[in-house]
Structure 1
């Protein structure tokens, strides 16, 4: 009959609209990552001094490490970290600056929900730094992460050991900047404190925040440091795990942003890098805790390059010219200097002498590189006019004293400004973040509520026509008939509709969110100590509850009612 056909058509249209909305959201993320300005106007700087050549000039390199999670119950983390400082940093790489991007201490108890600052863990960090004497030879810039802020009522609290045992915490409780000068070059490092205040207990202390006062301070710092060769921003949280959209605007055309926090998502995504739509490169570093990973980065004639390596893996090869096309920041870097350069430039670090370094463009003939001033820089002449437009590959190998070649380090580059796109998964992870979780949670709640409300409307209204419960109308017609029966029972329908709605609106519980202070937890945030803290993982917890508890409950109730009905009919 026509009414039944119309009802089926409307149901199919509703399902189609749901998937269209999801597709549009994913497409918006995919499109938004395109840089707003590909080739900004560049001044004429073709002089020898600013063109990458065979001299050790306009070159600065540094090291980043993140998420050490030093723990009293896992002492080998601190032992390896101390060895990393004394051997890798101080004897081999010898960087100008070392950046620590948070989660210094683990701050976790024996049970899953136990959390709080432990003095012993912070003392491990202090001993690793001061017993090695690294701060006497290198600039050490550290910033706190969410684990360094667990169960802290205030940044001024006596258990905030970051301000006691860290290098920068005793001078800067929040964000700060440091400018490294090398001759006429200036490189500015700006640390962004994205920790919430207060810091609640686990498992709700995951999302960062940037209050207006902190944002104003950072804007002032940015204005004061204008004129640097490059500004390197660093913090603990990726930008989309910070409940402040202003952070992306703050970083607009500001240089790379180095962070941690995600731990490469249990090792599934080691290289979480993306060019954000506001023109800066966001680079999440995998953790030291489990992976023992760190980053070596360099700024060579204004071009930023980096490589993520594992502790005790040698040699470290970092190509600074030509830089990786995938990691280009067209609105920030003078990329035209690649086409004007006269030499390939590579940094090589090894605990043993490097006998030879060679390179190959597009798997062509191997060319030897020359070491500059007995340092880590190796160079080889090249003619960029011979490089065709588009992307190319550069392979670099280093030989040890035993005559063994290392595994080839591969860089995809271009001399005409071709910028390959980033992986879609990385775009969703680093561009979606809290917003993606929020949208997905809302869609799941609507998917739970609207079908039952629609079925209820079909049962009670006349203009929609009688419900079509035939088996051949829908592939899951059996489930459809059971849902119709479930919705027809008032004592079950109203609670089942109310549960997802309350999950999205009402408080989940009231408890001690910070030691000595009660708080109310909602899916959209936490009210504690007179402060509102935005939600993040709570959306994920809500989705887990719906999938693992609510949906099985609906299925069980509908099947039980159907069996009861069949038994009564028999």
Structure 2
């Protein structure tokens, strides 16, 4: 049986889609058995940890806890609550929880202009950040580890430039300009907190500052810090602003540092905690995954809009965490048994859990906690004994839960009768819970590759159909069914448009220019002229391979260049088949063109606010495309009568 062209095309599409989905699922797989891959090393490491910590009982030893806060975005222009509630966090929350340290993972200040488009460092915002920490006295009893985010790097020419206020107004910037490590040795637990500063140098104004960049020097620094941490600590907690999916390493000797591989190469690495993505505007509130090397990557929701912070603990070598909204009490964290979703074989002494004698829970409130209870069936509740500090313990019989997945229910009450209730799944035989698909995609793929793929796809969509239609000798045939008939009607108009040289060649040539030529020339940093290309940005004699340019170009392709083809096809129909239009009718007929032109003007205006007059005037992507749109519309609407008659005859050819 001979297959039709449609069937063959459909099979090809399905084949390509299947290959794509198989590759995607392989990239975001979280069931990669790191422990089996490094079996001997994992056994030796976890056995050594188990021997060091001993049995898990109700002892208050061998446990430390810490906090994380991210994307504070202190601003003098918007939402004063960010500042006042951040002060509350330092004054009250940190004092009540009394962590060993606090991680502040970037975007400490907003650095955005009053119009919300321009971007530059605002000294007053840094002074607020500095004074709140200083006046609260939070650093008297707690270690504060802060690191830069992309907003803290807007319009910063060099690390030593005057605009780099992180040096003078942060806690760690005076000592550590970029990546660093801090060692915590407390209560029998030795942890290295390794901060990764991936802010590019120079730091451009927004939006070309979304992807982190590790240059050759920083790659070597991080490697050395990791080697040092392995010798001085039992556990490594990595922290930074950008997720690993948003960090690009520059090539050195035709090789690039694989940050995920570097983190995962040490059995002591338990987690990489970060911010930056703001939980995708709250759409992905639990953006967690286990990377294929076996460690956790945990993005924390922002303080900016959602007032989130994280409590994490290492208890007898087991890493646990919970994310909490500010001023929500009581706060509970189960540290034994370990949450089933977040177990890390080969990195934690998991064999201690089935041998443990007590369930262990950290409980905090802004007033005294009066009662903590647990249940394995929500019918019979057992009261936990308060040991010391925030630790509550309750005896249990692990042998009753040897196989399968089980749920521990915990509820706590404080003296103001505020209650907290959590469900905590666990297993003792290695039964795992799956991570959600969207967090895995956002944290496990390479954002730069995704941006390039989107840009390339839109570029092909802009060019190939137009070229194919131009090569087609006869017009697409009409279909009897209404939806298909409407589509083929549009397709026929685009086919006619592709036959007009003065329209076809400018559209195709401009589409070819976009991935090759410069998009804008302007003052990308105060005092420095730079050139923006699709494949990177040239400034100060340095090429910054900023992949977000592809996303910026994708916006142009999606909302301007591709719609332009259909708008011109619609205008061509008006020119060929609609007569004697005047006044309001003429205006309504040209509404699609006016709407498209308005979008372009708005995008160009935003670009002017972001990068100034020079970039606006020398901006082939945003500004000059307006002139191209107007020119093509004018040429379409003023086609000579002879040319119009020729096109009408083409339209009348049999399909």
Q: Normalising by structure 2, what TM-score? A: 0.80
Residue 69 of structure 1 deviates from its aligned partner by 1.0
Structure 1: distance between partners of 2:19 and 2:517: 26
Whether 1:34 and 2:31 are equivalent positions in the alignment is yes
Structure 2: distance between partners of 1:18 and 1:503: 26
Q: Secondary structure of the residue that 2:107 maps to in structure 1?
A: coil
Whether 1:497 and 2:508 are equivalent positions in the alignment is yes
Please name the residue that 2:337 is paired with. Answer: 322
Whether 1:350 and 2:351 are equivalent positions in the alignment is no
Which aligned pairs between 1:53-68 and structure 2 lie closer than 5 A?
Answer: 53-68=57-72
The superposition leaves residues 285-340 of structure 1 with CA deviations (integer Å, 9 ceiling, x where unpaired) of 11111111111110001100111111111001011111212122224222222222
Structure 2: distance between partners of 1:559 and 1:510: 34
- Structure 2 unaligned regions, length at least 5: 250-256, 579-644, 650-655
Structure 2: distance between partners of 1:524 and 1:314: 48
Cα pair 1:437 1:536 within 8 Å, conserved: yes
Aligned residue pairs: how many?
557
Please name the residue that 1:412 is paired with. Answer: 425
Structure 1: distance between partners of 2:325 and 2:284: 15
Structure 2: distance between partners of 1:160 and 1:405: 44
Please name the residue that 1:288 is paired with. Answer: 303
> Bigger CA drift: 70-79 or 425-434?
70-79
Q: Secondary structure of the residue that 2:515 maps to in structure 1?
A: helix
> Bigger CA drift: 76-85 or 114-123?
76-85
Whether 1:400 and 2:414 are equivalent positions in the alignment is yes
Please name the residue that 1:487 is paired with. Answer: 498
Whether 1:369 and 2:390 are equivalent positions in the alignment is no
1:81 counterpart (59, 76, 86): 86
Larger Rg: 2
Please name the residue that 1:137 is paired with. Answer: 141
Residue 155 of structure 1 deviates from its aligned partner by 0.6
Cα pair 2:65 2:311 within 8 Å, conserved: yes
Whether 1:447 and 2:461 are equivalent positions in the alignment is yes
The superposition leaves residues 177-202 of structure 1 with CA deviations (integer Å, 9 ceiling, x where unpaired) of 01111254311101111101000011
Whether 1:247 and 2:248 are equivalent positions in the alignment is no
Please name the residue that 1:511 is paired with. Answer: 522
2:404 counterpart (378, 383, 390): 390
Cα pair 1:50 1:58 within 8 Å, conserved: no
2:347 counterpart (332, 341, 356): 332
Whether 1:427 and 2:440 are equivalent positions in the alignment is yes
2:533 counterpart (513, 522, 525): 522
Cα pair 1:175 1:192 within 8 Å, conserved: yes
Please name the residue that 2:611 is paired with. Answer: none
Residue 546 of structure 1 deviates from its aligned partner by 1.8
Which aligned pairs between 1:536-547 and structure 2 lie closer than 5 A?
Answer: 536-547=547-558
The superposition leaves residues 16-41 of structure 1 with CA deviations (integer Å, 9 ceiling, x where unpaired) of 5664565345334333x433414544
Residue 532 of structure 1 deviates from its aligned partner by 1.6
Structure 1: distance between partners of 2:18 and 2:43: 42
Which aligned pairs between 1:456-467 and structure 2 lie closer than 5 A?
Answer: 456-459=470-473
Cα pair 1:163 1:169 within 8 Å, conserved: yes
Distance 1:183 1:372, change over 3 A: closer
Structure 2: distance between partners of 1:426 and 1:472: 45
Please name the residue that 1:222 is paired with. Answer: 226
Please name the residue that 2:588 is paired with. Answer: none
More helix by share: 2
Structure 1: distance between partners of 2:27 and 2:536: 24
Structure 1: distance between partners of 2:16 and 2:114: 44
Structure 1: distance between partners of 2:539 and 2:152: 19
Cα pair 2:307 2:325 within 8 Å, conserved: yes
Distance 1:194 1:362, change over 3 A: farther
Residue 225 of structure 1 deviates from its aligned partner by 1.5
Q: Secondary structure of the residue that 1:513 maps to in structure 2?
A: strand
Distance 1:472 1:25, change over 3 A: farther
Residue 48 of structure 1 deviates from its aligned partner by 9.1
- Structure 1 unaligned regions, length at least 5: 460-465
Please name the residue that 1:303 is paired with. Answer: 318
Structure 1: distance between partners of 2:116 and 2:554: 20
Please name the residue that 1:278 is paired with. Answer: 293
Residue 516 of structure 1 deviates from its aligned partner by 0.6
Residue 470 of structure 1 deviates from its aligned partner by 4.0
The superposition leaves residues 474-498 of structure 1 with CA deviations (integer Å, 9 ceiling, x where unpaired) of 9332233222212222222222223
Distance 1:268 1:513, change over 3 A: same
Structure 2: distance between partners of 1:508 and 1:539: 11
Structure 1: distance between partners of 2:153 and 2:66: 26
Q: Secondary structure of the residue that 2:354 maps to in structure 1?
A: helix
The superposition leaves residues 495-548 of structure 1 with CA deviations (integer Å, 9 ceiling, x where unpaired) of 222333322222211111111111111222211111222223322222222221
Cα pair 1:207 1:534 within 8 Å, conserved: no
Distance 1:14 1:447, change over 3 A: farther
Structure 2: distance between partners of 1:503 and 1:366: 66
Please name the residue that 2:239 is paired with. Answer: 234
Q: Secondary structure of the residue that 1:518 maps to in structure 2?
A: strand
Residue 14 of structure 1 deviates from its aligned partner by 5.9
